[in-house]
Structure 1
């Protein structure tokens, strides 16, 4: 953590104490070089962001919040109560003011897939093009230790994948009800209809098990453990998850720990649904991110 980060967080807290409203901007767009077309995102700006009294203006940590299959940049604002949750936690002093970015990852599984006719190079578009755009367009703290990623289901897969594949870019990752597809092994076959509905060709047409195995979060564990800058990790799933995400979450957490990577594990009451993510998982994840920021040394 750079010495100035603690001071920037204190400034953000001071500005947020003033009576200034948060703002949620739906469906913003920027041109992504990796995609060759605009990428949509929604963004939450915390209380105090537009307060003119900051001198210098406050800067904020950023959480990238990734959706699941069938969702979009509008899903967490519409069904995940992201604005209400962040407002409540900031007002209560449980988290510092933070920016939350919700990109439209379509059914990309947050991998690059243009070469196999999939949705496109969404890993590069989000982890690089979008991050660079957000750092340039908004008052972020543009440092690894103030940049976090989380998501549910497909988004949990993406959050782990981003952080483990580029640990020098992400300070922490939190995976909620991750769709890990642990049963995929060499030779695994998936029928054409399910490949389209679930993966949209992100791992090839037909589904290429070897490509999936090379791009899944597990593929990056050893390198992340040896990197010297492993991200903080948090994994959670509901005990009534329809897709048995609690089992694959537990298994992956144990594997991470066996390689020397620390991970906070939570199996909670809940299923694979919006009430679980909205009422339990997301608030807990944001508080966990806040605890990481609070634990950073002041100098």
Structure 2
């Protein structure tokens, strides 16, 4: 552990700590990040007592791109959604463009095994040091945008670890050429981290017949392993596309990936919640259906926390 846990504020519900991992020993960084140092943010339930007998379920929630794990917005959303809820929430570092995957061609960066870092190292670390329910029945996972992709991908790859999965406007369909373009763009823009990386670094080249990894890692087409797991997806349609057009169009396009995923879940006979709130007018005050609006994401998280607490083992 690079830096010991430290409370974020005087409320003493949320703390951060920093680790290093041999699975992602260095990574492309956003301003203020140190390559190789991974900040993890944890929100404890109110009244958490390290000496008491009670143990709590854990919700892993994955940030989008290019975002920070300890963003103040994430803290606000999580703390509001979990007020008076007996739930631990963990937000790990996913990098500005990590895509919650083991990269195919990481090159000079060295291993970019984000999946191994999170699932094989971070979860045991949390279970060892916090009063968790360290079983599938005690874990859920969700994420926004890139994080929604990561949540579904992790749940599909390791259904033994999670009993509920949620996507908040996730990029769920890597077969979709627009999502492929977005992933490629993230490799080439410094706003997602420096240095930039080759376009084939994460999933290989995105063109047939070299796109086998893209196809294999696409959550929308591999829902079968979610059978028996709680599944929820949330999306808007962008609302007025002339109002904040970048975020409006982004949400409109990721909605298509949710529609494909929902259709495949239905075809497979897998029950799921699909909350398509369109322009947001009936979802939450201040939500207009855009891609990264805090009121929309707050309503998503509030609803998802209520869902998972009906299914997760808890005190």
- C-alpha change, 1:205 and 1:41, in structure 2 (3 Å) is farther
- Residue 232, structure 1, aligned to residue 220, structure 2: no
1:191 and 1:180 mapped to 2: Cα distance? 12
- C-alpha change, 1:223 and 1:146, in structure 2 (3 Å) is closer
1:68 and 1:191 mapped to 2: Cα distance? 12
Give 1:218's match in structure 2, choosing from 212, 217, 220: 220
2:100 and 2:225 mapped to 1: Cα distance? 19
- Residue 82, structure 1, aligned to residue 77, structure 2: yes
Cα deviation per residue 1:8-56 (whole Å; 9 max; x = unaligned)? xxxxxxxxxxxxx651113x1223242245432111011111375x3x2
Give 2:259's match in structure 1, choosing from 250, 253, 269: 250
1:289 corresponds to which residue? 308
Give 2:19's match in structure 1, choosing from 23, 30, 41: 30
Unpaired runs of at least 5, structure 1: 1-20, 91-95
Decide whether the 8 Å contact of 1:156 with 1:177 is kept in 2.
yes
Residue 281 of structure 1: SS of its match in structure 2?
Answer: helix
Decide whether the 8 Å contact of 2:62 with 2:147 is kept in 1.
yes
- Residue 147, structure 1, aligned to residue 139, structure 2: yes
1:206 and 1:255 mapped to 2: Cα distance? 22
- C-alpha change, 1:182 and 1:191, in structure 2 (3 Å) is closer
- Residue 261, structure 1, aligned to residue 253, structure 2: no
1:86 and 1:189 mapped to 2: Cα distance? 33
2:185 and 2:81 mapped to 1: Cα distance? 38
1:62 corresponds to which residue? 58
TM-aligned CA deviation for residue 114 of structure 1: 6.0
2:41 corresponds to which residue? 42
Unpaired runs of at least 5, structure 2: 1-10, 26-35, 239-247, 281-288
1:162 and 1:193 mapped to 2: Cα distance? 23
TM-score of the aligned structures, taking structure 1 as reference length:
0.76
TM-score of the aligned structures, taking structure 2 as reference length:
0.73
TM-aligned CA deviation for residue 231 of structure 1: 1.7
Decide whether the 8 Å contact of 2:105 with 2:202 is kept in 1.
no
2:89 corresponds to which residue? 100
Decide whether the 8 Å contact of 1:176 with 1:236 is kept in 2.
yes
Count residues with an aligned counterpart: 260
1:129 and 1:22 mapped to 2: Cα distance? 25
Residue 223 of structure 2: SS of its match in structure 1?
Answer: helix
Decide whether the 8 Å contact of 2:165 with 2:232 is kept in 1.
yes
Give 1:279's match in structure 2, choosing from 295, 298, 311: 298
- C-alpha change, 1:44 and 1:184, in structure 2 (3 Å) is same
- C-alpha change, 1:45 and 1:116, in structure 2 (3 Å) is same
TM-aligned CA deviation for residue 183 of structure 1: 5.0
2:126 and 2:221 mapped to 1: Cα distance? 28
TM-aligned CA deviation for residue 239 of structure 1: 2.6
Deviates more, 1:98-107 or 1:43-52: 43-52
Cα deviation per residue 1:165-212 (whole Å; 9 max; x = unaligned)? 111111110001011345546xx7789655423695322367863221
Decide whether the 8 Å contact of 2:62 with 2:151 is kept in 1.
yes
Decide whether the 8 Å contact of 1:149 with 1:159 is kept in 2.
yes
